[in-house]
């Protein structure tokens, strides 16, 4: 059981930046929908474009 917890904590530590980024995207999108539907949809679309660009960037093993 302790190894599962340590493995989970290691995964959370390794991916903390991505998790914080996604949480920030969620907060921004939620706040923009509180302003109105149209600004919320535009903001959500922009955040999805940013996420797609981030995912499209090659990793260190793919560069060269």
Q: What is the pLDDT of residue 6?
A: 92
> Tens digits of per-residue pLDDT, 2-26?
899 999 999 999 999 989 999 999 9
Percent of the chain whose predicted confidence (pLDDT) is above 70: 98
Quote the DSSP letter at residue 15: T
Residue 32: count of CB within 10 angstroms of its CB? 19
Q: How far is CA 44 from CA 5, 7, 18, 19, 54, in A?
A: 34, 33, 18, 17, 15
What gap in Å lies between CA 43 and CA 2, rounded to an integer?
A: 42
Tell me the mean pLDDT in the region 17-45: 94
pLDDT of residue 41: 95
Predicted TM-score of the model (pTM): 0.73
**55 pLDDT higher than 80:** yes
């Amino acid at each position: 059981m302790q190894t599962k917890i340590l493995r989970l904590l290691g995964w959370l530590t390794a991916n903390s930046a991505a998790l914080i980024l996604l949480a920030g995207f969620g907060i921004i999108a939620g706040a923009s929908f509180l302003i109105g539907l149209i600004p919320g949809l535009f903001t959500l679309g922009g955040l999805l474009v940013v996420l797609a660009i981030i995912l499209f960037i090659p990793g260190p093993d793919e560069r060269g």
